[in-house]
Chain A
Amino acid sequence: MSDSPIRFTVDDSGVGELVLQREPCNEIGTAMTGALEAWLDALDTDRVHTVIIRSSVRGGFCAGADLRELHAGLVASAKEEHPAALRGFLERIHAVMNRIDMLPVTTVGVVHGVCFGGGFELALTCDVIIAEKSARFCFPELRLGIIPGFGGIPRLRRDVGNATIRDLLLSGRSVSAKRAHALGMIAQVVGRGEGLAAARALAEQSGKFDDRARRECKAFIKRLPTDELEREKELFVELALRPPLLNALAKFVESTDLRPYLP
C-alpha cells in the first residue's frame, strides 16, 4: 500500500472508486485534505459518471478530524497564530467538501463501522449513502466544546428535520445504520461486507442514464447551503479559540484508556 491516505481507480465503464486508506480510521488532517485536493484537481468528470467513496480500513469509514494533529498544531504555535491557522484549514476542508458535494457525477458513499464527526460530514457530501449494518453515525463535537466544522449541519439539514439534528448534536450520541435509515439520513442499509457490491450495482444502473439528464437532475435537486456554511465557519472558529477545545484535545491525546474518551 502506498503512503497516500487515498487511492483512486476508474474502470472501463466509467465508475471511479475513491478508497480512504489511512490507519487508524482515515482521520482528516492536512495529509488527507491535501490528497483530496489533488484528487479533485485530477478528476476527469468526462470520463467518470459515478464515484464510489469508501474506506479500506477495518475501523470504519472515517473517524473525523485528526484530533492529534490539531492538538499538536495548537500546542506548537503561539496563541495569536491560532485564528489564522484554524481559519486557513477550515477554508481548505470546506472547499474540498463543497467540490465533492457539487461534482457533476453521481457520488455514492459506502459506510461501515465508525462514521463520526468530520467523517459523517464527508459522507454527507455524497449523493447516496449506502451503509453496512455495522455503521454508526455521530456528531461528537460538542464533547470538545465546538460544533461540527466541515459543513455537516447545513448538509444534514437538507435531508432531515431539525429535531433529529438537535438530538444528534445536543446529545452527541451515535445512531446505527438502521436508525439512520429510518430517520432519512442515509439511502440504503446492507449487510456486513455488502456495501461495495450494492454501490457498484447502483453505479451500473446510473451509468445507463443519459449523461446530461443525470447531471442536470443532480444540479437541480442538490444545492449548496452557502450562507449556512459561511456562518458555520465563523461559529466554529469562535468556539474553537476558547479553552474548552484545547483542554478536551489534551485529555484525548493523553488518554491511555481502552475506552474512547467521552466527557
Chain B
Amino acid sequence: MSDTTVQKLMALAARQFDADVGALRPEDDLFEALGIDSFQAVEFISELEDEFDVELPDYELQGVKTFAALADKIDKRR
C-alpha cells in the first residue's frame, strides 16, 4: 500500500462525509471512523473509482475494513 494512496483516500473520505481528516488513521475501520451506512459505502466506491481511475469489484472488497486495506486494493488495480 502506498502512503500517497491511503492519504488521498482518507482526504477523499473526509471530504465526502464531512469528517476531520486529521482524526483519521490508516488502521481505522472505515464504517466506524466515518459513521457511514452501506448505502453511503456503495456511493463511495464510485467516487474512489473516479478519483483513482480504477474499477473496484465488490467481491474484491469483501473483508476490507480499514483505510489501509482499501488503499492496498486500489493500488493492486492501478
Contacts and interface: CB of A to CB of B under 8 A. Distances in A.
Given A138-B58, A173-B59, A179-B55, A258 B42 contact: no
Interface size class of B (residues with CB under 8 A): 10 to 19
Given A133-B50, A259-B31, A260-B38, A174 B43 contact: no
Interface in B13-56: 31-32, 37-39, 41-43, 45-46, 49-50, 55
Contacts of A179: 49, 55
A113 B58 contact: no
A60 B40 CA distance: 9
Contact of A172 (B37, B45, B55, B58): B58
B50 A174 contact: no
Interface residues of A, number: 25
A174 B41 CA distance: 12
Secondary structure of the B contact surface, majority rule: helix
26 contacts: A59-B37, A59-B39, A60-B39, A60-B42, A113-B39, A113-B42, A113-B43, A133-B50, A134-B46, A136-B42, A136-B46, A171-B59, A172-B58, A173-B57, A174-B42, A174-B58, A176-B45, A176-B50, A177-B46, A178-B49, A178-B50, A258-B31, A258-B37, A258-B38, A259-B38, A260-B38
Ranked nearest first, the 5 interchain pairs of A and B with the lowest CB-CB distance are A59-B39, A176-B46, A260-B38, A173-B57, A258-B31
